[in-house]
Structure 1
């Protein structure tokens, strides 16, 4: 009879996955009117899972880096589709006028500031420091959802929410060239004269242009295929789940096969696909489904982060790591944002929100795991630890204050 109650690891993980899925359905609604955002709760759940089943949750990040990379990659592209569907006027300058400043000025300044902090204060090697600056620079489209603009059918008059949405949609893809800069440094040496031309023409020019063009063309063709070549009575019968995944995976897959940046393609495709006003109700359906998928995988990923934090808590409590993370969140990004927004017609409060709420999250995890798969980086353990601390502190600082900011913006 004792054999009936033997707990196999596989069954433990199945039970955990079921609980996580249930949490993804309940927590966003249960805590909707509180200052606790779902990722905060998921971190706590992860710590509790690690506490109750430590023999099944003690894992090495590097041994599972490919799984973590694939999981975070999927979460990001779903979130990018969701962000693109929300932008109702993708061909209007007003949708991009603040995001453009954040992308062109704030993002490079954040990379430089974070890289310098990692090198000078933490003692990271140059390639590792540049990688830290690159992976920590993009505003996360997943965690920034609480401050993003509304679903497609609802007109949002807030330039701040629109600015954060458009910035988060593009800068995940634009972090790739800087990540590759760090990869080239690690793989080919610090003498940039040997590889700077290849990096610029391939990793910057070709891949950005390819991602933009393929995303735009794919989004337009998908719209023609779904809404022009089929009759109106068929539209309501098309599965929102199947269509949402198609809009996400087709542009991403084609662009990656062509060597471009799939993150850029997915966001651009969603923008082009959804810009027609007469199909806005269909876009609401797609948005709702991608949001549901996003919630499930965000819950899973942040439970895993909670498990890792519990297992390595003492190693994360290094004062240099914590100070560096706080410097990125409270000084480097806000200052870079404020510099970029100088001279605009925004109020001081609006500038503060756009500057301060550069939330760090899933995208940083992806870039870290991706870079580790491309080259051998020194200080890999320190990079994992400081990235984790930045994400956890961002979830806490930005998450606990997001509700009050959202209320004032509304």
Structure 2
């Protein structure tokens, strides 16, 4: 008798990939003007999939290396998108508000998160430092809902510009603090023994290398594409292949040279997109990156929904809930609002810039990176707190972003 039905892991994988691709294609379009954001829908689908189909205990700690690589890719794609959106990347006006968010809000958030993780959640000192580093940056993927418009569209919104430029850089700037936590886990809290090496190598050298390679690679790619190719040839250049080269080349070159690839990717995209006469081609690159990004976002938040469903008890843990909600509702908003004091912004602008420090895929990447680089005490508890914070951030920020979008033009 022939076998008409047979289950193989590969076929199930292909089926799951097809379903995820379908969701990534239709959910963002359907939810575009709805109160509920696409990541919320993906998490709900993941929760439903767990209870209806899966019924197994999902253990992501066993797959940290895979999680690191997937989240790494989606973050660099999102950073390229953020860089392409910024109209005048080398003017001080572009960075006035985001500079304060990066220089003041981010360090305050790191310290506050580390203290809360140690005091309330009981994390070991090095692990608490890691929580501060990974939860501080605004996510360039989820913050896309409130980011500035695509390259060819004029957008004078200080809110959108501030959130875009902040999200573009702070994912890379979280790396030195992540290394600080890694070195604390490896060498102990006798900071005087290694803090000099950290400052020289992981702060000054790596950031400097990233800025130099980002500027040179972005300039070089622009010259290759727009100066060598004739104007009538530009439309024939594959937007997908070009977009991938703009994302992968600066990242790979910088990582090989020992710098921070996240910073280089964003800087290269800013350098590449600074000429307005090629906006239509920048739009094409931006659109491809958004399609690529939406596919991986769907995968990650479906997995997040499955994890939440199989580990529902973390949402019943008072210490985890307190830390997550205090970070989202108090620490970032208060630190952000205080850092913007004295700027020519109205209260609404200050509120949105300070409140929408969205936590997401970047935090998962830093968590996976650190846990595959060193041994941390309370690693599973740290994972639970991180996922809970992202879960509440996606819900709170996702459910209110649409309302804020409608008011931005009215109050700016």
Q: TM-score, normalising length from structure 1? A: 0.98
Taking the TM superposition and a 5 Å limit, the aligned residue runs for 1:194-343 are: 194-343=193-342
Q: Shift in Å at residue 5 of structure 1?
A: 2.5
Taking the TM superposition and a 5 Å limit, the aligned residue runs for 1:27-176 are: 27-54=27-54, 58-176=57-175
Q: Shift in Å at residue 256 of structure 1?
A: 0.2
Aligned residues: 409
CA shift digits 1:79-105 (9 cap, x unpaired) = 000000000101111110000000000
- In the other structure, the counterpart of 2:355 is 356
**Counterpart check, 1:186 vs 2:181:** no
- Structure 1 residues 3, 59: CA separation in 2 closer, same or farther (over 3 Å shift)? farther
Q: Please, which runs of 5 or more residues in structure 2 have no aligned partner? A: none
Q: Shift in Å at residue 251 of structure 1?
A: 0.1
In structure 2, C-alpha distance between the alignment counterparts of 1:33 and 1:85, rounded to whole Å: 24
- In the other structure, the counterpart of 2:377 is 378
In structure 1, C-alpha distance between the alignment counterparts of 2:109 and 2:283, rounded to whole Å: 34
The answer (yes or no) to whether the contact 1:139–1:359 under 8 Å persists in 2 is yes
- In the other structure, the counterpart of 2:13 is 13
> What secondary structure sits across from 2:87 in the alignment?
coil
Q: Shift in Å at residue 78 of structure 1?
A: 0.1
> What secondary structure sits across from 1:374 in the alignment?
coil
Q: Shift in Å at residue 19 of structure 1?
A: 0.8
Moved more, 20-29 or 359-368: 20-29
Q: Shift in Å at residue 51 of structure 1?
A: 2.1
In structure 2, C-alpha distance between the alignment counterparts of 1:44 and 1:240, rounded to whole Å: 33
CA shift digits 1:270-307 (9 cap, x unpaired) = 00000001111100000000011000010011111111
Q: TM-score, normalising length from structure 2? A: 0.98
> What secondary structure sits across from 1:53 in the alignment?
helix
- In the other structure, the counterpart of 1:407 is 406
- In the other structure, the counterpart of 1:390 is 389
- Structure 1 residues 49, 8: CA separation in 2 closer, same or farther (over 3 Å shift)? farther
The answer (yes or no) to whether the contact 1:82–1:290 under 8 Å persists in 2 is yes
In structure 2, C-alpha distance between the alignment counterparts of 1:275 and 1:123, rounded to whole Å: 47
In structure 1, C-alpha distance between the alignment counterparts of 2:174 and 2:314, rounded to whole Å: 28
Q: Shift in Å at residue 59 of structure 1?
A: 3.4
Q: Shift in Å at residue 9 of structure 1?
A: 3.1
Output the aligned Cα RMSD. Answer: 1.1
The answer (yes or no) to whether the contact 1:115–1:132 under 8 Å persists in 2 is yes
In structure 2, C-alpha distance between the alignment counterparts of 1:315 and 1:113, rounded to whole Å: 21
The answer (yes or no) to whether the contact 1:316–1:386 under 8 Å persists in 2 is no
Q: Shift in Å at residue 2 of structure 1?
A: 9.0
Q: Shift in Å at residue 13 of structure 1?
A: 2.4
CA shift digits 1:296-351 (9 cap, x unpaired) = 01001111111111111123421110110000000000111011100001001110
> What secondary structure sits across from 2:4 in the alignment?
helix
